[in-house]
Amino acid sequence: MAITPELVAEHGLKPDEYLRLLDIMGREPTITELGIFSVMWSEHCSYKSSRFWLRQLPTSGPQVIQGPGENAGIVDLGDGDCAVFKMESHNHPSYIEPYQGAATGVGGIMRDVFTMGARPIANLNALRFGDPDHPKTRHLVAGVVAGIGGYGNCVGVPTVGGEVNFDAAYNNNILVNAMCIGLAKTDKVFYSAAKGIGLPVVYVGSKTGRDGIHGATMASAEFDDDSEEKRPTVQVGDPFTEKLLIEACLELMAQDAIIAIQDMGAAGLTSSTSEMADKGGVGITLDLDHVPQREENMTAYEMLISESQERMLMVLKPGSEPVAEAIFRKWGLDFAVIGETNDSGRMVVRHKGRIEADIPVSTLANSAPLYERPWTPTPQPRIVPASKVPAPESLTGALKAIMAHPQGCSRRWVWEQYDHMVMGDTIQRPGGDAAIVRIHGTNKAIAATCDVTPRYVLADPAMGTRQAVAESWRNLTAVGAEPLAITDNLNYANPERPEIMGQFVQSIEGMKDACLALDYPVVAGNVSLYNETNGVGIPPTPAIGGVGLIRDLDKRADLALENDGDVLILLGGEAGHLGQSLYQQIITGEAKGAPPPVDLLKERRTGDLVRGLIRQGHVSAVHDVSDGGLLVAVAEMVLAGGRGVQLVPDGGAEDIPEHAFWFGEDQARYVVAVKPADAGSVYEAARDAGILARRIGEAGGDAIVIGEGERLSLEDLRAAHEGWFPAYMGA
């Protein structure tokens, strides 16, 4: 087949990139070689627009066993245990085909985790949809939630946390970010480097089909009016096969037979082969005649870039093939030796007696274009004085409106579609600050959360991303966990536009600052660019997945008010910041001004204080203050515990409008509930830490009562909070 400029463009390569390819090859590529370069040099696989900036992120620390560059990141949990985790996007496929797109996103991220020898123990997700009134939104919500639930539930891994949000800016580009956490032994971790010559290269799992061809290329391009025609690029998953694959892989891993292992994810057999060979400094020869196929007459091109699901590539120790084959056959899975490592440094592909590809391995992994794209900074927004934001007719009326709004309502309808209790180690179910999953057979647990506030990032990318990192750190802190590390999913529009690239660059700056200040390194992640349709992009959405450790489950906290008479104390003070707040957005219909500033030193001091109070047993409930401000935080504690509060703040805040005090989204703040006898200890600890502590009320009754006049019953509040989602989905 003649390689024409039109064919090159169809493969997502720019003219100068094709010239680079020609220079590497010294000849015109075959169609198969063009396909290989197309997927490996795609944005999705090569990170050609982001690699330069990602290098600035802090990725190490005493708790880090493996940082970015492998299938997933790893942190040490002590006692020979480690947590393996990562977050990835399946945005484009989920918009085209919501059920399969979301389902295979879950399957793919679990494979990244168990590839490293870890048993998956928890899934989370971060979902963003368009305006609820948009004609496609309900369909997309239903499909994505069903896909996540269907796949995760069938595999038997609990979905324990996440976030769901709506904004018209995601009407034509929804975001589906999936996160998985696994548990492994530190001396039983597996990596992807194929080190050694003359070693068998083995294909295991499901057969290869024609689904998902050019999925990586599709995920690296913006949408247009014909996007739905790209359905053939969406993979089709089978969770029951995934479960078998997990068990078979973990069984073989116990046999000391594996030298390297890699999931066949984006770019399929091409990426797994080239990445394993490059990391090991070897060449690989493949014979595609031996690849298990479920469709007839597949070409080399199709087999190499298919993204059929539930498949792995392994390099085994010589002589271990019979043991490995017996295990995979026992689990009803395909097993085939399809190649061998060598010292050529090349990826050579044979099919039906012909050489279909012969490419230097390093050029696929390391010679992709690296762009320092031009960027322009986002103009610094001005702070909106609280006095300029109109006050509500009543505080309780505004609270009820926020809690009933799509942006502030309960997500119970979503998480009830997921099995969050399977495996029997989920300690804290969805709805709290962070999920808690016990390390089986111990009194230790992993805490996990994911978070970002895109309206903050859109207004000020650096400060908004700093806040996203800090909030995930607070969420872990609020349950008593020691924050260990993050994974991220950086979702942006077209980086070829300087203003979008500027958002990305400034986000990296904010993330770097927060991670350094909080000793909270980045160990894994994903970049998803070109999230736009017909030139209209999404808001910058750097989703942050945080993982922490609870060393003693007897010393943890949740947000539920437990006892009548407990004193509610606000730790961290207030400034009444209403710019970019939920109050501003929902009550006044605006979203303007600067987001709340994030003082990282204050975050650190306040968080360390809260963690210490939890471990000392001085607090009975904890909740960080975020979306909606102080009154929303208290309302969530009230609903979780099923008991009311009398709110009468002690002193201060005279210079802040009342609605700004209750709804301002100032950072580095927590509400703690304490027994009256323990209040003195809390005030003293706060004073020693240099943190303002203010009594704001007392638990008890069946309503939220503010001062002497305003009252909202728990019954009315719960009905408002729980009602929107089921009504919207017709449940």
Residue 720 is encoded by which pair of tokens? 């408002």
Indicate the SS3 state at residue 33: helix
Query: Pairing between strand 482-491 and 522-528?
Result: parallel
Encode burial over 487-526: b for 16+ CB neighbours within 10 A, e otherwise: bbbbbbbbbebeebbbbbbbbbbbbbbbbebbbbbbbbbb
Backbone angles phi, psi at 179, to 5 degrees: -125, 140
> If we measure between CA atoms, which residue out of 10, 171, 8, 191 comes closest to residue 84?
191
Encode burial over 561-572: b for 16+ CB neighbours within 10 A, e otherwise: bbeeebbbbbbb
C-alpha angle 105/107/108, rounded to 5°?
65
CB 122 within 8 A of CB 435: yes
- For residue 346, what are the contacts with CB-CB under 8 A and spacing of at least 6? 283, 358, 359, 360, 361
CB 283 within 8 A of CB 349: no
Q: 44 an active-site residue?
A: yes
Q: 721 an active-site residue?
A: no
In angstroms, what is the C-alpha Rg of the chain? 26
Q: Within a 13 Å sphere around the CA of 302, how many CA atoms are in the beta-carbon half?
A: 16
Helices 268-280 and 31-40 sit at what angle, rounded to 10 degrees?
Answer: 70
Catalytic residue among 90, 92, 623, 659: 90
> If we measure between CA atoms, which residue out of 172, 166, 160, 177 comes closest to residue 728?
166
Q: How far apart are CA 672 and CA 682, in angstroms?
A: 9
CB 637 within 8 A of CB 712: no
CB 504 within 8 A of CB 540: yes
Residue 522 is encoded by which pair of tokens? 């980045």
Q: Is 324 exposed, middle or buried (0-12, 13-18, 19+ CB in 10 A)?
A: buried
Q: Within a 13 Å sphere around the CA of 175, how many CA atoms are in the beta-carbon half?
A: 38
Q: How far apart are CA 140 and CA 135, in angstroms?
A: 10
Q: Is 709 exposed, middle or buried (0-12, 13-18, 19+ CB in 10 A)?
A: exposed
Q: How far apart are CA 412 and CA 721, in angstroms?
A: 10
Catalytic residue among 44, 623, 659, 721: 44
CB 524 within 8 A of CB 86: yes
Q: How far apart are CA 694 and CA 457, in angstroms?
A: 30
Q: How far apart are CA 256 and CA 654, in angstroms?
A: 68
> If we measure between CA atoms, which residue out of 692, 694, 695, 712 comes closest to residue 703?
712
CB 137 within 8 A of CB 129: yes
CB 474 within 8 A of CB 670: yes
Q: How far apart are CA 44 and CA 214, in angstroms?
A: 11
CB 71 within 8 A of CB 508: no
Task: Provide the annotated active-site residues.
Answer: 44, 90
